[in-house]
Amino acid sequence: MTYVIGANCIDEIDRACVEVCPVDCIYVGGRKSYINENECIDCGACEVECPVDAIFVDRRARKDPELARFLEDSRAFFAEPLPGRAEPIGNPGGAQKLGDLGVDTPFVAAFEA
C-alpha cells in the first residue's frame, strides 16, 4: 500500500504533507504534489495532515475510476520524462535533493480544477 495525491491538491499546494513526511517522498510539481510510491513507507502521516483531504491510499484508487487516474498519473510523474526534462525523475531518494520541480504531468497541467 502507498498513498496518492488527488485533485483536491491541484492549485492548493499547502506543503503540510511535505513537512510531516519522515522519508521525504513527496515531490512538489507546479500545480500539485506527488508521492513516490517506491520511497513511501506507508506511515499515513501525510493523509492525516492534509488540510484539503487530497491524499488517499492506493487500494481505494483501484476501486474508483476517478481516483485511479491520479494513481496512474502519480506513477507517470516519476517514470516518464516531464515537460522540459530529458529523463524521468525516477527514484532519487528524497524530494529535497531536487527541490520544487515547478512542472506537472500533462494530465495535471491540463486538469480543470
Contact status, residue 46 vs residue 8, Cβ threshold 8 Å:
no
Residues 84 and 25: their CA atoms lie apart, in Å, by 22
Total Cβ atoms within 10 A of residue 40: 19
Render pLDDT for 20-45 as a digit per residue (tens, 0 to 9): 999 999 999 999 999 999 999 999 99
Closest by CA to 77, choosing from 110, 37, 44, is 37
Q: What pLDDT, on the 0 to 100 scale, is given for residue 29?
A: 97
pLDDT digits (tens, 9 = 90+) for 94-109: 999 999 999 999 999 9
Domains of the chain: 3-108 (3.30.70.20)
Closest CA to 27 of 110, 71, 108, 89: 89
Confidence of residue 13 (pLDDT cuts 50, 70, 90): confident
